[in-house]
A and B are shown apart, each in its own frame.
Chain A
Amino acid sequence: MKKTINILSFIVSVNILTTQSVFAFPQFEKFVAEHSGKPVNCAMCHANDAGPIGNDPGQLGSLTKAEMEKVNLARLALKPGQKVDSPILNKFGNHIIESIGTEKFTQLLAKPEDLAKELGNQSDLDKDGIPDAQEYLDGTDPLNKLNGDPSKLFVINVQRNAWLLIYMAVSLYFIYFGLTNILKYYKLNKG
């Protein structure tokens, strides 16, 4: 009984939110921009970089009935662990809903800094070595493996490419060593 009320109240609140055209959550965007000092936009979590409101692809106005159902299903995923595929969200946005649920998510509106903690460090959607939660805090794209905090990416890639780098260093050392010897030879022969 309590659950139904919960759902109902959530649907009502969602309806209020959508009619007021603030269903995008700028609280998170604002926090990330301030925390990371980098310009960010809605495309971190949404399908469209201008957010879900509007008539362009990936926005509510452009959705078919079937797609709209998917959006509503995602809105109803109150608890973590439900598979969602909302067309207004991108992979990261859907992942957030799947891992924490909409109930927790709406609670986090007041404390957007805690989203990273809730997400945990397990998931790394773009496999660049930096967890999604960390990329959220850094203001970098969790879905682009080429985008991330430069120093972190560098360290991770050095570890990943360690063998290649050693191979490269050895061959370059041979070249360098060879050149030094030839140079020595010519220097000795000059006199």
Chain B
Amino acid sequence: MTTNEKIVNFFKDRFPLEKFFILDLLAHKEVPVHKLTFGYYTGGLTLLFFMIQVVTGIILLFYYEPTISDANLSVEYLANFIKGGFFIHNLHTWSSSLMIFFGITHFLMTFAMKSFEKPREFTWITGLLLLGITFTLGFTGYLLPWNQIAVNATKVGLQSVQSVGQLLPGPLAQIPKTIVSTFQGGDEVGQPTLSRFYVLHIAFLPLAVLILISVHLLLVQLHGMSQGVDKPSLKVEKFFPEFILKDLMAWTLVVGGVLVLALCLPFEAFLPYPLLEPFNALGPTPGGIKPEWYFYFVYYPLELLPFPVLVVLSMIIIGILVLSPWIFRKTSRKILTIIAAIMASYLFIITVFGQQIYSYLKP
């Protein structure tokens, strides 16, 4: 026995990983190769950004103070006086946007590739929940710097949820109000709101993501990659090591990109400076309050469509998405791809040109 083998055996005896059936699955898992193969990378990239969020988020906790008198100053202090503070904070903000971007891409690709098909219904539903939680993480994290845009965007967001109550019949009408006051913790957005959003953002929601991601990934491993195209491709590659290596290569490129952004382009530079001032409860709301870009797809319709229409519409869309595995059971991938492309174009147009569309329709 060579020394090499001795060392390997030493660890094999101590960590009998072969008993762990997932490894066995991984060893046999295969990834179909076809024109949509890049879709298989999107989930991994979302996971990468979640990991970046967890790490940078924990590091930020060293300085962040969740009180309405100190929150804004602690973020300012971090960015101005702590070595690397600006970088970590900026990385956290950029990577939150990218996590949502890749989450949405993953969702669209999964839809187009009909990966929700039996027996993967629960993978799909946990995925939708994860996407929802990711948006909520974005929303709750947005409040934490306690500046004008943060607090006012939160007010508008919570008030929108509360307005749904007017449209619900009888006893249901109280539900949105109860939900909002639970999160708001008082008549107005204030210290209780900050405390609640804080605990949601740093403990509750990340834990929920962790649990759901475990289920989601377990299911992905158990079922293997879905075929992705209507005519099953004959070409496959091994998940381990080929796909995983390519996945890591993609991660390397994306990490390079986000590091450049985090070092060189302050995320806040895109906002007018009056919105970055600490929130002033006694003054007027400054102009130009808008949610973060990833909410534009509901924000601009909210501005342009009558509220009840929007609520009914979004209920229907959410319903369709949740029930997709059953509704689109017999639909071909070609049609699903077209639907996904329509969704993608809608998201792209409303996110990039929303403001122009808005000022055109409502001068």
Contacts and interface: CB of A to CB of B under 8 A. Distances in A.
A–B proximity contact (CB within 8 A): yes
B286 A39 contact: yes
B287 A146 contact: no
A158 B287 CA distance: 32
A148 B270 CA distance: 8
Contacts, number: 94
B86 A43 contact: no
Given A175-B252, A182-B241, A183-B246, A39 B269 contact: no
Contacts of B273: 40, 43-44, 140-141, 144, 147
Contact of A186 (B245, B269, B288): B245
Interface string A138-161: 011100111111100110011001
A83 B270 CA distance: 34
B266 A164 contact: no
Contacts of A146: 79, 86, 266, 268-269, 276
A50 B283 CA distance: 9
B266 A176 contact: no
Interface in A124-181: 139-141, 144-150, 153-154, 157-158, 161, 164-165, 168-169, 172, 175-176, 179-180
Contact of B269 (A139, A148, A172, A183): A148
B156 interface: no
A144 B260 contact: no
B277 A39 contact: no
B255 interface: yes
Given A146-B79, A147-B269, A165 B276 contact: no
Contact of B255 (A144, A161, A172, A187): A172
A153 B263 contact: no
Contacts of B249: 176, 179-180, 183
Nearest to B278: A49
Contact of A144 (B252, B256, B264, B276): B276
A172 B80 contact: no
B191 to A, nearest CB: 21
A164 B249 CA distance: 21
B179 interface: no
B283 to A, nearest CB: 6
B186 interface: no
A168 B257 CA distance: 11
Interface of B: 79-80, 86, 238, 241-242, 245-246, 248-249, 252-253, 255-256, 259-260, 263-266, 268-277, 280, 283, 286-288
Chain A to chain B: the 7 pairs with minimum beta-carbon distance, closest first: A157-B264, A141-B273, A146-B266, A41-B274, A150-B269, A183-B245, A39-B288
